[in-house]
Structure 1
Amino acid sequence: MALPSRASGGRPSARATDTALTLVVTAVVVAWTVVAMQYEDEPLSSTLVGWALIGVGCGALHFRRRHPVAVAVVTLAVSTVYYPLSAYDGPLMVTFALALYTASAEGRFTAAVALGVITLLAVGFGEAHQTGGNRQIDDTSLFMLAGWLISLVAIGRAQRTRTAYLHEVEQRALAAEREQEARARESATEERLRIARELHDVLGHSISLINVQSSAALHKLGKKPEPSAALTTAEEALEAVKATSKDALRELRATLGVLRQADEAAPTAPTSGLDRLDELVERARSTGIEVRTRTEGTPRPLPPPLDLAAYRIVQESLTNVTRHAQAQSALVTIAFTDADIRVRIDDDGRGSADEQAVGSGIRGMAERAKAFGGELTAENTADGFRVSARLPLTTIGGTQG
């Protein structure tokens, strides 16, 4: 099967090359024959037939890539008829040489070898039957012809091998490029999802707290209390909003730090983790919900990605409690074992699992747990609602940050 050829980088196409080569070979053969006509004479009929054969042999070269074997047969047949007939002995044989090389280069190796052998046998047979020992080609020339034909076939075969190798290299390079692009797109998608999840957790939690704190203050002020009580309520609400927004800005800067330019300084804000759990619980308490914490097992330092994942699960769960559960109290339990860390958040709210799941980020929490080889469940209980997560300590996966 012929390898595909294509013009690129400004190089001429295969058809243009064939046309140019055909014209060059035709010009050489015609010029040689015209010069030979000055020194030799032959009947007009032989001359006309000779020129016709020259036209057929040279013209056939234009189709050598599309029909390599057929062109080789035609040029061989033309040469076989031309040389015994014509007295001018021009270089028409070069058309067969090019056709034989092309047949081998286009993958028709067996046919090229067969044509070469046929040519040698035909020449040998013709020379052996010359009358009176009047040979046109001596033994040395016959061996040179054999070497010439073998060289043409071998060079064509080598060119075929080189073309196939270059084609394979090109295909591998294209495949590698496509794979690299796919990996880059996949990495970019994962990074966008990670950043989106971080922003959802940070902003969703803080804005929810600010909304609850502001609503509570407005509710109290709507009862038109005494000026001093109203001022105290407003101050408490504003202090809570200030603290919450400050923490939100800190975490937002840390999250957006991954988007900084290479020459910018790395963010210096501490990464959120379970060591900041007290701050998180205190902000949730400012909304009027009684939040308690409990630790089981022996606390231990956690890898930063795992520590952040556990923190975010608690953060998002408390956000759901303040926004959806209509709860009065919540209990955050952190349990350490040799194999994993378990996080559980129980509340006494009246919302169902479906109500809390809508827009609550439970899917994001589940994705965080799954990224580390863990699992997360969210379900109704007899007393309210529970979120439970298990994060193995032996597997640190994903690109959590």
Structure 2
Amino acid sequence: MDEQRGRGGPPWTRPGLPWWSQGPAWWNRGGDARWPWRSTVLVTAFVLLGSNFAAHGQSDRAALDVFARLLLLAGGALLLWRKRYPVAVAYGTALCATVYLGAGYPYGPVFITVALGCFAAIIAGRRWAAWGAVGLFWVGHVVISHWLYRYLPPSGDGPAAWGQEGFVAAWVLAVVAIAELARVRREQWEQARAERERAARRRADEERLRIARELHDVLAHSISVINVQAGVGLALLDSDPEQARTALTTIKAASKEALGEVRQVLDTLRAPGDAPRAPAPGLDRLPELVEQASGAGLTVGVTTDGERVGLPPGADLAAFRIVQEALTNVVRHSGSRAARVRLRYGKGLLTVTVDDDGPASRTEAGGSGNGLAGMRERAAALGGTIEAGPRPDGGFRVVAELPLTARAAAPAPSPEDPR
């Protein structure tokens, strides 16, 4: 229930967001499913009482009678439908007020019902209906005050001053202007809320992709090593128990390493505000990666060109994961038992190259087929690039270029893994 309120409920029910950034709580309380009866009762009572007080100072107008109070009550009661039928309410309140003033009753809070009816119509997006309603009210007041007054009560009164019409026109324009400002502000609130929701969904999608990529990179390499060594152990269990023992030892070490890294990822998810308990892996752990690959029967040679420099954490992790995934692909998909890793430090750029001599293995290697896509996403997140494909002389090559300074990240492509 709380989750549903946080996504689709009224703005003031959403945790963590101040009311002034979401709009006034009184406007949409309960949504369209509820009747705004509290505000309607308060406004109607105020109009009735205020009209009684106003009548004491306007002896030249007709005294309030049952018909006058019914008109005031009808105009106030119409506000109960202002959210469901804003056009009808705008014209209905204007008509009630016009008849009230045409009958010669005292001026007073009767204007409030017209103002709220037109305000609700503008907020609901029915601007022309609201303008038409206030225009009808003003024209009706002019006609009654200057032409029909001699035929309407009270008897013996004269035409109203044109200055009074200017005051009524100013009042009408003020109501419309305030309603238009409220409508613009409401649209801004809705736009800002929609943008926040889109940003939240985007952050959630990015975080989900990051978690999936991290878990894939953590598990793929270790599971590949375990898979290879399990096959070796089964094949040599009877003929060479000592070699089978070595394979089982490698499986134990690889599984322990994988469990440790998975635990680190899960700890980060459980406490996103806390610092991770263990540092993220980087190229300083490349010897461990080479040793794990050796346990899977893969000989890895590492060369470094240029002066090695300290890498930003993001680039260091990405370089390590790219090498890890590339070696995992060699173990899974290549018939070669040798691979070469080359790190070249340039001016503001780290180039990582992983080669194997192939040919591609014909055996079913399993896997999700998302390895190269994950590498591209990691590189693109740093503003870098990945090139991967068969070499002209056979084998396969992965080349990653990672900037060592912050750059705008490009959208990460998601091609199918060609291997």
1:345 is aligned to 2:354: yes
Q: Distance in 1 between matches of 2:266 and 2:73?
A: 70
- Do the aligned partners of 1:206 and 1:244 also contact (CA within 8 Å) in 2? yes
Length-normalised TM-score, structure 2: 0.66
Aligned twin of 2:322 = 313
Q: Distance in 1 between matches of 2:361 and 2:247?
A: 29
159-168 or 384-393: bigger deviation: 159-168
CA gap of 1:237–1:55, structure 2 versus 1, over 3 A, is closer
Aligned counterpart for 2:277 among listed residues 265, 268, 280: 268
- Letter paired with 2:188: R
How big is each residue's C-alpha offset from its partner over 1:232-268, in whole Å with a ceiling of 9 and x where there is no partner? Answer: 323322332232223222322332232123686x333
Aligned twin of 1:234 = 244
309-318 or 150-159: bigger deviation: 150-159
Structure with a larger share of its residues in helix: 1
- Letter paired with 2:398: V
Aligned counterpart for 2:90 among listed residues 62, 65, 83: 65
Aligned counterpart for 1:325 among listed residues 331, 334, 352: 334
CA gap of 1:397–1:204, structure 2 versus 1, over 3 A, is farther
1:96 shift after superposition: 9.0
CA gap of 1:375–1:150, structure 2 versus 1, over 3 A, is same
- Do the aligned partners of 1:6 and 1:13 also contact (CA within 8 Å) in 2? no
CA gap of 1:18–1:279, structure 2 versus 1, over 3 A, is closer
1:351 shift after superposition: 1.0
- Do the aligned partners of 1:97 and 1:152 also contact (CA within 8 Å) in 2? no
Aligned counterpart for 1:371 among listed residues 368, 377, 381: 381
Aligned twin of 2:213 = 197
1:162 is aligned to 2:178: yes
Aligned twin of 1:131 = none
Aligned residues: 341
- Letter paired with 2:315: L
How big is each residue's C-alpha offset from its partner over 1:117-165, in whole Å with a ceiling of 9 and x where there is no partner? Answer: 4444338x969xxxxxxx94589xx55x954x55444444433333333
65-74 or 357-366: bigger deviation: 65-74
Aligned counterpart for 2:290 among listed residues 258, 281, 304: 281
- Letter paired with 1:160: V
- Do the aligned partners of 1:345 and 1:388 also contact (CA within 8 Å) in 2? yes
Q: Distance in 2 between matches of 1:319 and 1:297?
A: 26
- Do the aligned partners of 2:384 and 2:403 also contact (CA within 8 Å) in 1? yes
- Do the aligned partners of 1:376 and 1:387 also contact (CA within 8 Å) in 2? yes
Identity %: 35
Aligned counterpart for 2:131 among listed residues 107, 129, 132: 107
- Letter paired with 1:283: Q
- Do the aligned partners of 2:338 and 2:357 also contact (CA within 8 Å) in 1? yes
305-314 or 343-352: bigger deviation: 343-352
CA gap of 1:7–1:18, structure 2 versus 1, over 3 A, is farther
Unaligned stretches of 5+ in structure 2?
Answer: 1-25, 53-64, 79-87, 120-129, 411-419
Q: Kindly report which structure 2 residues correspond to 1:143-158, keeping only aligned pairs within 5 A, or say none.
A: 147=164, 150-158=166-174
Counterpart secondary structure, 1:66: helix
Aligned twin of 2:59 = none
- Letter paired with 1:344: T
54-63 or 151-160: bigger deviation: 54-63
Q: Select the structure of larger CA radius of gyration.
A: 1
Aligned counterpart for 1:395 among listed residues 406, 410, 419: 406
Aligned twin of 1:40 = none
CA gap of 1:238–1:378, structure 2 versus 1, over 3 A, is same
Counterpart secondary structure, 2:292: helix
- Do the aligned partners of 1:369 and 1:391 also contact (CA within 8 Å) in 2? yes
Unaligned stretches of 5+ in structure 1?
Answer: 29-50, 84-90, 128-134
CA gap of 1:160–1:379, structure 2 versus 1, over 3 A, is same
Aligned twin of 1:213 = 229
1:194 shift after superposition: 0.3
RMSD: 4.3
Q: Distance in 2 between matches of 1:98 and 1:379?
A: 74
Length-normalised TM-score, structure 1: 0.69
CA gap of 1:196–1:54, structure 2 versus 1, over 3 A, is closer
CA gap of 1:344–1:13, structure 2 versus 1, over 3 A, is same
CA gap of 1:18–1:154, structure 2 versus 1, over 3 A, is farther
Q: Distance in 1 between matches of 2:371 and 2:216?
A: 8
1:116 shift after superposition: 4.0
1:290 is aligned to 2:315: no
